[in-house]
Amino acid sequence: MTVVAKYPDSTKTSLEQRLRARARERWPQIASLQIRHRGNFSYVDAVLTDATALKLCRLRYVGSASHWQFAIYRASHDDYDESVFFTGLPVGTCQDALDTACGLYLSDPTAWTRPPTNLQARPLSLLFNLCRHGWHVLRFSFRVSLR
C-alpha cells in the first residue's frame, strides 16, 4: 500500500502565490497563470499576452511546499512526462519548474542558467600571502595579469 502525502489548502495557496509572483518577475509574455489541483498534482497553464493558452507542467506534492517533482507537458503526446530540474535533481522549487517549462515553451534557455553562488571576493593581501608561501601558479597568473 502506497501512502500519499496530504496536500493542504495552505500549500496550494502558497504554490499559487509563488508561481504567480515568479511569472510577474521573470516572464512578461505571460498574462496569467491557470493552476488547477487534482489529488497530489497541480497543473500549470499559461495565457500569454497574445491570448494563446499553453499547458506548461505538472507539479507533484511530495510533502513540502518548498520541494516538488516536475513533469513537463508534451504537446506531441498530449501528456506530462516526468522530468528533472535544470539542476539535474528530481525535486526542486515550483519557481524552477516554471522557469524550466517557460524556458522551453517561450524559447528562452537563459531560464536554465544561474550565476555561480560560490564566488567570494578576496582581498589582494590574500593573494600576496599565497604567493609568498610557494603558490607559483597563482604568482605566475598574478604577474601575467599585471602586464
Whole-number Å distance between alpha carbons of 123 and 107: 40
Residue 77 phi, psi (nearest 5): -115, -5
List beta partners, residue 64. Answer: 67
N- to C-terminal Cα separation, the chain: 69
pLDDT band, very low/low/confident/very high, at 78 (cuts 50, 70, 90) = very high
Q: What is the mean pLDDT of residues 71-93?
A: 94
| Residue 17, pLDDT score | 97
Write down the domain spans for the chain: 9-112, 117-147
Question: For residue 77, what is its C-alpha cell?
Answer: 503526446
| Residue 110, pLDDT score | 85
Q: What is the mean pLDDT of residues 63-85?
A: 94
Which tens digits make up the pLDDT trace of 109-126? Answer: 888 776 656 555 555 444
Please write down the HEC assignment for all residues of 67-83.
Answer: EEEEEEEECCCCEEEEE
| Residue 116, pLDDT score | 57
Whole-number Å distance between alpha carbons of 23 and 99: 9
| Residue 7, pLDDT score | 85
